[in-house]
Chains A and B, each alone.
Chain A
Amino acid sequence: MTSLTTDPIDPTALGALVIRPDHGAVTSFTGHVRNHHGGRSVDRLSYTAYPEMAEQECAAIAEEAMTRWDVVVAIRHRLGDLVIGDIAVAVAVGSAHRAEGFATCRFVIEEVKRRVPIWKHEHYADGTSAWVDPTAGTERRESEET
């Protein structure tokens, strides 16, 4: 199952991929583009990836989750240019009961953020832009947007 996409993410369609007849729950998480970061006003952003490794890591995370819990997992991460409110990442977990659904969903999104080689370039309302570096705050690269 491919996890990276440049198309808008449909969380309902993602949930449909993980539901089974013995499942009583679909637990989902969607991460959206917000209009602020570090006190700055964000207009839009773009995601880029090391695609071969990102796909491998998403598949490994889903596999680890499905080994640890009796669940079915689907992950989508959007690449390219996104605007405020767009879904950047979505996780759907199908399970018999809600407890393992919530636990799996939390595990998966935290592992995606920790392990999947994807980068975010923010474009600010004042015309500047910067690569986001969660380890050192935002590395600001002043540049005029045209």
Chain B
Amino acid sequence: MNGYRVQLLARYAELLGAEELAVDLPTPATVSMLTDALRALPGGSALPAQPVLARNLRIAAPGDLIEPGDALALLPPLAGG
């Protein structure tokens, strides 16, 4: 198991009550394994089935592999402008 640090932005930080969380996952891990783990946390059930995750500042697909040192961030639907 390895620890993955993930940033939570905007509404998702409120839902999960934290701006950053550490999640233990087996290696190798995928984006969907991480988002499933987040959905299982208190408050996480309000997340969409496949919330958008940025890996190293780029949107990742659910099947993409992640590594413990990656910059990971869970992004609510964008509302800039």
Contacts and interface: CB of A to CB of B under 8 A. Distances in A.
Given A53-B54, A56-B57, A119 B78 contact: yes
A53 B73 contact: yes
Contacts of A131: 10-11, 14, 76, 79
Interface in A81-129: 88-89, 109, 112-121
A22 to B, nearest CB: 30
Interface of B: 7, 9-11, 14, 54, 57, 71, 73, 75-81
Given A117-B75, A120-B79, 6 more contacts: A89-B80, A114-B78, A115-B78, A117-B78, A119-B9, A119-B78
Report whether over half of chain B's contact residues are helix, strand or loop; otherwise say mixed: loop
Report whether over half of chain A's contact residues are helix, strand or loop; otherwise say mixed: mixed
Contact of A134 (B14, B75, B78): B78
Cβ-closest 4 pairs across A and B: A118-B80, A119-B10, A113-B81, A131-B11
A132 B77 CA distance: 9
A65 to B, nearest CB: 16
A15 B70 CA distance: 37
7 contacts: A53-B54, A53-B73, A77-B81, A117-B54, A120-B79, A132-B79, A133-B79
A89 B75 contact: no
Nearest to A53: B57
Contacts of A121: 10
Contacts of B54: 50, 53, 117
B7 A119 contact: no
B57 to A, nearest CB: 4
A112 B81 contact: yes
